[in-house]
Chain A
Amino acid sequence: MNDIIKLLQQNARISDSALGEMLGISAAEAAAKIEQLEKDGVIKGYSVIVDDDLYDKSTVYATIELKVTPQRDCGFDDIAKTIMMYDEVESVSLMSSGAYDLAVEVKGNNLKDVAFFVSERLATIDGILSTSTHFILKKYKEKGIFIDNEEPDERGLG
């Protein structure tokens, strides 16, 4: 387990010097470790977790289940790569469910945008057998971070 990654997963904005303190190394060593992890492609990028209710209430997210015909020599990779090129697509994952093959997270400005994106762009790709769209109504937790308010800390009240 890589401790520096665990810490950055909680908060990617921790300074090098604070990271160094937490891990018992110098700030320069922490910076060098991160640089190496980036170079090695272990760290792919840094993002921000947003409460869309506060930032942009109209944003719509959906999870699309796709049933796909696997292709000779490359299985699902080719279709997955086609799908991930769309800006609307937030994530693409190959699933082991049997009920469907690819799970795609789509972000759009409104319900209609997302629905049309699925029917016109995704459903029409060669090899896609069916789509099933689930709109996300509320996110409670994302990447380990609470979107919904945390329970109040009741300690120390006794």
Chain B
Amino acid sequence: MIDYDKVLSDKIKSIKPSGIRKFFDIAGTMKDVISLGVGEPDFNTPWAIRKAAIQVLERKHIIYGPNKGLASLRNTISSHIEKKHGVRYDPDKEIIVTVGGSEAIDLTVRGLIDPGDEVLVVEPCFVCYAPLVELAGGVAVPVPTRIENNFKLTLDDFRDKVTERTKLLILPFPNNPTGAVMTKHDLEPIAEFLRDTNIMVLSDEIYSELTYGRKHFSIIELEGMRERTVYVNGFSKAYAMTGWRLGYVSAPAPIISQISKIHQYGIMCSPFISQNAAVEALTSCDAEVEKMVDEYNVRRRYLVGEFNRLGLTCFNPEGAFYVFPCIRSTGLSSEEFCERLLFEERVATVPGSAFGDSGEGYIRISYAYSLKHLMEAIRRIEKFLTKLEAEKHEG
């Protein structure tokens, strides 16, 4: 018998599985579970995009295409970023179309990190950063953000954690799981500090189109920051295109020319059909995105209102499609809370601790669900909380 434990690399064995998965796997075996767990839109991809894909299937030869992505798409991405942020990236030398934002993050981390390099990971955050840093041999240094600051990053949060080995700051805003956003005003002191260092920023702006009340501001817009930022974005969240697997990375040419080797050898190129369709997304789907944002906003306001009514304090998130209520008042850990809520009331949520230690005491609620679904979930959560309250009095 082959001993797989000896076959597998120590590095991969040391990587923890995703904390989001755990509850999904349990929920998947149960009946009548209502989930608030997923991180993908409940809308279908806008028809114009699907139609474009059908036309490609009907009329074109489905090929690999250029390593960095179709020229037409890179041109469109370049204009899109310029229109949104007033910052220009050369479509030939400064953009790679990737297999989702996730690949873009992986390319950046692997391209910048040598063994022992330190990466500041702003938490709570999506689960992929620290494992990717560790796979690259780097050291992930958690930078907790705090509810007092509405989970925004402040200079005080990370200044003390900067060392000579600090190479990269991962800046994930609008944030999954908290829904926090960073304004120009919030970013300025951070940019000012970074301008005197050699620290690069990986700005993961995958939720940039999903903001409520104000337009997203990118750190690349600030003076001197385009040259020290790797900008990551994608099509999954804004255009409800998760299954199309398409994202992109924009950065100064010297960085793109190096990290494109990882993409070239590891991935070769992003899906041809998706790339053709994505041109349509950026050129003709603004109204569709706006409609989705309006719908998300109704759900967001409802959930924030309801969680506060139920006594689970919930700050007002201005981006993404998550709310992040505090469950400390129940006396349970976030893991216990989610587990009991799942088993006793059949509502699947994700414990905040899955997104870093600073997420402890919170749960992530996705509102990529219909209002009908959300209202039923709230009904069950209210029942659960009433029960917890009764237990307290008995105890």
Chain A interfacial positions (CB closer than 8 Å to B)? 3, 7, 10-11, 14, 17-18, 20-24, 153, 155-157
Contacts and interface: CB of A to CB of B under 8 A. Distances in A.
B301 A18 contact: no
A69 to B, nearest CB: 42
B98 interface: no
A105 to B, nearest CB: 25
Leading 5 A-B pairs by shortest Cβ distance: A21-B305, A156-B38, A155-B38, A22-B302, A22-B298
B179 interface: no
Contact of A21 (B35, B302, B368): B302
Given A22-B302, A24-B301, A156-B35, 5 more contacts: A7-B371, A18-B305, A18-B375, A22-B301, A153-B35
Contact of B371 (A11, A20, A157): A11
B40 interface: yes
Nearest to B21: A156
B382 to A, nearest CB: 12
Which secondary structure characterizes the binding site on chain A? helix
B83 interface: no
B298 A23 contact: yes
12 contacts: A10-B372, A11-B371, A14-B375, A17-B309, A18-B305, A21-B301, A22-B299, A23-B298, A153-B38, A155-B40, A156-B24, A157-B24
A11 B370 CA distance: 11
B345 interface: no
B21 to A, nearest CB: 9
A24 B294 CA distance: 12
Given A10-B371, A23-B298, A18 B306 contact: yes
A61 to B, nearest CB: 24
Which residue, of A10, A18, A156, A157, has the highest number of chain B Cβ atoms within 10 A? A156
A156 B375 contact: no
Contacts of B372: 10-11
Contacts of B304: 21
B37 interface: yes
Contacts of B301: 21-24
Interface string B22-41: 00100010000001011010
Nearest to B34: A153
A7 B37 contact: no
B298 A156 contact: no
A101 B37 CA distance: 50
A156 B18 CA distance: 13
Contacts of A24: 301
A18 B309 CA distance: 11
Contacts of B40: 155-156
B367 to A, nearest CB: 11
Interface in B286-320: 298-299, 301-302, 304-306, 309
A24 B368 CA distance: 19
Interface in B258-312: 298-299, 301-302, 304-306, 309
A106 to B, nearest CB: 30
A153 B24 CA distance: 13
B102 to A, nearest CB: 12
A157 B28 CA distance: 8
B306 A21 contact: yes
Interface in B29-72: 35, 37-38, 40, 42
A14 B305 CA distance: 14
A41 to B, nearest CB: 25
Contacts of A155: 38, 40, 42, 368
A18 B35 CA distance: 20
B17 to A, nearest CB: 14
A21 B38 CA distance: 23
Given A7-B371, A155-B40, A156-B35, A18 B24 contact: no
Interface string B360-395: 000000001001100100000000000000000000
B298 A3 contact: yes
A20 B24 CA distance: 32
